[in-house]
């Protein structure tokens, strides 16, 4: 008999949320040490640059970096486009002021429009991707100027959904939030003292006016995280449905998970030898 067939299904309304609850003090300690280990000990960087969007993910990342490296060694970079929300800038400034970190504000409008003038028919998705990639160009260039390392801000839900711009949001070499579901990032944010106005507002990439993550995804983060939790542990669609989750939402999540696998990997190499990098050739530390 399949082991999963004898596992008692948790009740969605209570048990599933409890399964996603984190020990915030312990997680904070672990992530602070992760940043110190990966940045200072392994790579020799004592400074970090974080793209501050005014959202909860980048805010939590800045809070963790300030704890790990000291606020004097963290740069929060605001990178507005002309259609960006003024509220996003204000919320990013709240984080800068509360932490006492360094800051820069770089308007990416001229750079983005310099390219898009040749692509007047670009839709919102393409324009948003150009903005996201331009922001990463800024972060990596400033990292060279400041001898600092860019720190990623993507959470586990976004990564599993493929809800990020390839070679943009996923580009920084280290990511403290990548194994935390979005609802767990909210838990950590409240523990760290991120301003409540940031934690409680609807999540948005702020690439298109009026856009929100949950509208794009077609499901709330609270529901998506619970379904993802069970899918990642091998539960079948039917088993999750028996817990009370809508079948169409389960299939939506499963479809996003399975169709975006390629975005979570390095470029696929055509192997010609037994020393193909990342396929066969791995130094001991890479394991």
pLDDT tens column, 104-138: 999 999 999 999 999 999 999 999 999 999 999 99
Contact predicate 192/202, CB 8 Å: no
């989750």: which residue's tokens?
245
Q: How far apart are CA 276 and CA 238, in angstroms?
A: 40
Structure confidence by residue, pLDDT tens digits, 50-92:
999 999 999 999 999 999 999 999 999 999 999 998 999 999 9
Q: What is the mean pLDDT of residues 167-195?
A: 95
Helix (H, G, I), strand (E, B) or coil at 64: helix
Q: Where are the beta strands (DSSP E) in the chain?
A: 48-51, 74-78, 102-105, 149-150
Higher pLDDT, 11 or 22: 22
For the chain, give every domain's residue range. 3-286
Percent of the chain with pLDDT over 90: 75
Rounded to 5 degrees, φ, ψ at 103 are: -150, 155
- At residue 276 the predicted structure's pLDDT band, cuts being 50, 70 and 90, is confident
Report, in angstroms and rounded to the nearest whole number, the Rg of the chain calculated over CA atoms: 20
In this structure, what token pair is assigned to residue 197?
């106005």
Kindly tell me the sign of the dihedral angle through the C-alpha atoms of 51, 52, 58, 64. positive
Between helices 247-259 and 221-232, what is the axis angle to 10°? Answer: 70
In this structure, what token pair is assigned to residue 182?
């979005």
Helix (H), strand (E) at residue 158: helix 156-161
Give me the count of residues in the chain: 287
The reported pLDDT for the residue numbered 240 is 94
- At residue 32 the predicted structure's pLDDT band, cuts being 50, 70 and 90, is very high
The reported pLDDT for the residue numbered 205 is 65
Q: What is the mean pLDDT of residues 35-47?
A: 96
Percent of the chain with pLDDT over 70: 89
Fold of 3-286: Rossmann fold (3.40.50)
DSSP 277: B
pTM to 2 decimal places: 0.89
């Amino acid at each position: 008999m399949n082991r999963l067939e004898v596992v008692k299904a948790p009740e969605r309304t209570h048990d599933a949320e409890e399964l996603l609850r984190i020990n915030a003090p312990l997680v904070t300690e672990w992530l602070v040490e992760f940043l110190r280990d990966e940045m200072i000990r392994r790579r020799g960087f004592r400074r970090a640059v974080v793209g501050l969007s005014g959202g909860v993910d980048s805010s939590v990342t800045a809070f963790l970096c300030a704890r790990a490296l000291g606020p004097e060694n963290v740069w929060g970079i605001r990178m507005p486009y002309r259609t960006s929300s003024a509220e996003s800038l204000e919320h990013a400034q709240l984080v800068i002021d509360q932490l006492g970190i360094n800051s820069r504000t770089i308007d990416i409008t001229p750079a983005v429009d310099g390219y898009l003038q040749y692509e007047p028919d670009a839709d919102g998705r393409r324009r948003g991707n150009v903005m996201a990639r331009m922001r990463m160009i800024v972060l990596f260039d400033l990292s060279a100027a400041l001898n600092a390392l860019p720190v990623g801000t993507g959470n586990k839900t976004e990564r599993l959904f493929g809800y990020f711009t390839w070679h943009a949001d996923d580009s920084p070499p280290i990511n403290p939030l990548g194994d935390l579901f979005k609802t767990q990032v909210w838990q950590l944010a409240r523990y760290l003292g991120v301003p409540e106005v940031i934690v409680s507002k609807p999540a948005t990439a702020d690439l298109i006016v009026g856009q929100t993550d949950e509208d794009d995804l077609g499901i709330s983060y609270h529901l998506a995280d619970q379904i993802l939790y069970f899918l990642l542990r091998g539960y079948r669609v039917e088993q999750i449905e028996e817990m009370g989750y809508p079948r169409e939402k389960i299939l939506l999540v499963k479809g996003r998970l399975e169709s975006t696998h390629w975005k979570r990997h390095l470029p696929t190499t055509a192997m010609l030898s037994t020393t193909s990098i990342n396929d066969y050739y791995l130094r001991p530390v890479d394991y």
